[in-house]
Structure 1
Amino acid sequence: MLEQFIYIADMIGVISCAISGVLVATRLRMDPVGIIVLAAVTGIGGGTLRDMMMGATPVFWIVDNNYTYVITITAILTVFWLKHIHRSPPYLLMILDAFGLAIFTIVGAQKALALGFSGPVAIAMGCITGVVGGMIRDLLSGQIPFVLQKEIYATASVLGGVLFVLCSYLEFTPILAMSIAISGTLSLRLSAIYWHLSLPVFASDREA
């Protein structure tokens, strides 16, 4: 049951992030190849780097082709949907990103603990899984990634990783631990979006 829960959650995260990649690609008027590329890197980029860093190879989407099928189908359906509504809601990208961030963070942290890595490493792997796909998407589209701005983004991911590791050490059931951590990450990120919460920024007026 745990494996099924993780698999379904991971797929939901992939779909959410793939849609966000399509939203960015269509706003920039990319061709079909560009749309698929942005959908793919957003959906599986973080997990790919995570697996490579932990030596969990071949990486998950090479072993399970369902990930590539889901990304491709999601991209096609999203393009048709966008053509039908003509314009997507302004906050849709950030909301989808929030769901992907929350799910991927906990899936990444869970995999690290399952492979025997320490709590701090699990938190780091969760953060990498959560933020890297969006970073690659934004860099490819010529934007400053959310994680490098004042957005409460990586902070929410770290919170989720810490919650999951603590719940695991307290011997909560894995599904309960993941649910609590996902809820914590998602709540912080959505609250930051809704109330325009942000981290302080630092700037210098001095010239180099």
Structure 2
Amino acid sequence: MSDDYFHVLNLIGVAFFAVSGTLLGYEKKVGGFGVVVVASVTALGGGSLRDLLLNEPVFWVADPDYLYSTYAAIFISVAFIRYLPHVSNYYFLLLDALGMAIFNIVGIEKSLIGGTGMLIAITMGTTTGIFGGLIRDVICREVPSVMRGELYASACVSGGLVYAALFSLGTPYIWCIFGSLFTTIFIRMGALHWDWQLRFFKKKYRKSSGSSVDKSR
């Protein structure tokens, strides 16, 4: 991926996550500067952790364009909410899914450019995609989406696996990106719409007759 495309994609991801953080802050009635904090950690948290783990300069410190994108997205979101206060929760979920999908790609690409293997790149993509939202949910006293039964981190991993499969087949970068983006967004939004869940653990409950029955938790 060229530097220009990578830069633009990262700016878009930052803006989407800043908007989703602002919307959740509004929903939780976070006031004043608190909204800026929530939106900023949502937009910048995942990429900051990724860069620290990769021993790279933190992206928004190295390039202030990302801060401009974050603050502009916050300002526009606040202005939009002031004039249209009845904002559907659907927009928050959609923007969160878009931001997560884009940051997943950015994390994978940045890791591969840094010389890591594909497994580490997929892990870094998932970390980039979910960590900002995790901090956002904790600050807003929400159960983090990644800790619920619904598909969240799994959507990032699936998008990363699609990227890896297309990459190994020699597919042009642009189709690797589109394939990963579509997979991540489709799985995340599908999980919300159709209640898809990934269950690892089952418990056995005993009936009064003494027979046991498997029941998903």
Same fold (TM over 0.5): yes
1:142 aligned partner = 141
CA distance in 2, matches of 1:35, 1:56: 28
Work out whether 1:44 is the aligned partner of 2:60. no
Pair member with larger Rg? 2
1:103 aligned partner = 102
2:111 aligned partner = 112
CA distance in 2, matches of 1:168, 1:74: 32
Higher strand share: 2
SS where residue 29 of structure 2 aligns?
coil
Q: CA deviation at 1:184?
A: 1.2
Higher helix share: 1
CA offsets 1:72-100 (integer angstroms, 9 cap, x no match): 11111111111111111121111111101
The percent of aligned pairs where both chains have the same amino acid is 33
Work out whether 1:160 is the aligned partner of 2:168. no
Q: CA deviation at 1:3?
A: 2.2
Gaps of 5+ in 1: none
Q: Normalising by the residue count of structure 1, what TM-score does the alignment of the two structures yield? A: 0.92
Q: CA deviation at 1:39?
A: 0.9
CA distance in 2, matches of 1:173, 1:3: 16
Bigger RCO of structures 1 and 2 (CA < 8 A, at least 6 apart):
1
Taking the TM superposition and a 5 Å limit, the aligned residue runs for 1:153-192 are 153-192=152-191
2:11 aligned partner = 11
Q: Normalising by the residue count of structure 2, what TM-score does the alignment of the two structures yield? A: 0.88
8 Å Cα contact 1:101-1:157 kept in structure 2: yes
CA distance in 2, matches of 1:130, 1:17: 10
8 Å Cα contact 1:2-1:174 kept in structure 2: no
Work out whether 1:197 is the aligned partner of 2:196. yes
Count of matched residue positions in the alignment of Structure 1 and Structure 2: 205
CA distance in 1, matches of 2:200, 2:140: 23
CA distance in 2, matches of 1:64, 1:178: 23
Q: CA deviation at 1:118?
A: 0.8
User: CA, structure 1 residues 141+166, in 2 after alignment: closer, same or farther (shift >3 Å)?
Assistant: same
CA offsets 1:33-58 (integer angstroms, 9 cap, x no match): 1111111111111010000001012x
Gaps of 5+ in 2: 205-217
Greater displacement, 112-121 / 7-16: 7-16
Q: CA deviation at 1:203?
A: 8.1
CA distance in 1, matches of 2:24, 2:83: 17
Greater displacement, 182-191 / 129-138: 182-191
Equivalent position amino acid for 1:14 in 2? V
Runs of 4+ in 1 over 4 A off after TM superposition: 201-205
Q: CA deviation at 1:196?
A: 2.2
Q: CA deviation at 1:202?
A: 5.1
